[in-house]
Every structure is written in structure tokens, then in C-alpha cells.
Amino acid sequence: MLANKTMVLELYKHTFGADEFFIQTLCWNSRFRNSVYDLNDEYNGCQRLIDWERGWPYTWQEKDYNELIASEYLFARKFSSENAELINRLTTFLNTQN
């Protein structure tokens, strides 16, 4: 159960893509801000691998599997349901990690 459901709904009801802002907003406004966000390095700060050079942003493909698993980041953007095999491979890989 979400203790602050009313506040969360009010805060995000007019937000496009609220799911992309929710966790980041909680972290930014918490006592953990300095340990989870790097003001000097946006990619390190958000822990997302985003490729702006091959797309706006680039949609990860099956051929990018090794690049994704070698990344130091916790998250990646952007995936498509059309690349379900890549998503399945990444899920399998992550489930086998200790």
C-alpha cells in the first residue's frame, strides 16, 4: 500500500511520462540525494545508459547485448517491445547474477 497515494497522484496527474520521473524525484528530494546523484556527470547521476548519437534516443537492438551487459550503469533507455529477444536475454542475464 502506498502511504502517500493522494500526494503522488496530485503531484504527477498532469505529468507526461510520470513513471520516468517518479523514482528520480523521490531520490532528489530525499536525504540520499548526494549519494545517488552526481551533479557533474549526468549519466553517472541518473545511472542510465542512453545513446543520443545513434538516435533520439537510440532504441537498443539485439546486436547491442554485449554493450548493455558491459555497461557500468543500472538502467538503459530505450527499448522496444519489437526487440523482445533482447529484453528476454537481458532479463535472463540479470537473473543469473549474484
pLDDT at 59: 97
Distance from C-alpha of 1 to C-alpha of 8, rounded to nearest angstrom: 13
Q: Are residues 53 and 97 in the same domain?
A: yes
- Residues 54-76 have pLDDT tens digits of 999 999 999 999 999 999 888 89
Give the distance from CA 76 to its chain's centroid: 5
Q: Are residues 27 and 50 in the same domain?
A: no
Residue 27 CB: number of other CB atoms within 10 A?
A: 16
Q: Express the helix, strand and coil content of the chain in percent, nearest 5 each.
A: 50, 5, 40
Whether residue 25 is predicted with pLDDT greater than 60 in this model: the reply is: yes
Q: Are residues 66 and 86 in the same domain?
A: yes
Q: Domain range holding 33?
A: 1-37
Rounded percentage of the chain residues whose pLDDT exceeds 90? 43
Q: Are residues 28 and 61 in the same domain?
A: no
Indicate the pLDDT class of residue 27, thresholds 50, 70 and 90.
confident
62 vs 29, more confident: 62
Q: Are residues 15 and 56 in the same domain?
A: no
List the grid coordinates of 45: 547521476
Q: Are residues 29 and 60 in the same domain?
A: no
Q: E strands of 1-98, at which residues?
A: 48-50, 75-77
Overall pTM surpassing 0.75 (yes/no): no
Q: Are residues 92 and 52 in the same domain?
A: yes
The strand pair at 75-77 and 48-50 is best described as parallel
* Total domain count, the chain: 2
